[in-house]
């Protein structure tokens, strides 16, 4: 399985990526080896994730999320949180 995820950084910005292992990737980000963007904005926390069956679909979804305005990303996070309760 492949995952698209969003992290909330210390400065309240959002980072979007994809991975095959969410736990490992979150640890890498918080250890400062996950990505240049998050390295300067630690700590980060997972606020959204989606499961996709293929790498290509995960990469397409990551790109689509990155194109969204921040307020739409915030709504996506909120809607998912409300739906899961």
pLDDT tens for each residue of the chain, 85 residues long: 999 999 999 999 999 999 999 999 999 999 999 889 999 999 999 999 999 999 999 999 999 999 999 999 999 999 876 666 5
Q: What is the CATH superfamily name and number for domain 2-84?
A: GIY-YIG endonuclease (3.40.1440.10)
* Residues β-bridged to residue 21: none
Question: Which ranges constitute the DSSP H helices of 1-85?
Answer: 22-30, 36-39, 55-67, 70-84
**All structural domains of the chain with their residue ranges:** 2-84
Q: What is the dihedral of CA 54, 55, 59, 64, to 10 degrees?
A: 10
Residue with tokens 């992290």: 7
């Amino acid at each position: 399985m492949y995952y698209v995820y969003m992290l909330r950084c210390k400065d309240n910005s959002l980072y979007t990526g994809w991975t095959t292992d969410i736990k490992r990737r979150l640890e890498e980000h918080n250890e400062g080896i996950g990505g240049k963007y998050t390295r300067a904005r630690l700590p980060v926390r997972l606020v959204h994730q989606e499961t996709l069956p293929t790498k290509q679909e995960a990469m397409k979804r990551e790109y689509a999320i990155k194109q969204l305005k921040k307020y739409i990303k915030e709504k996506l996070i909120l809607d998912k949180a409300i739906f899961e309760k």
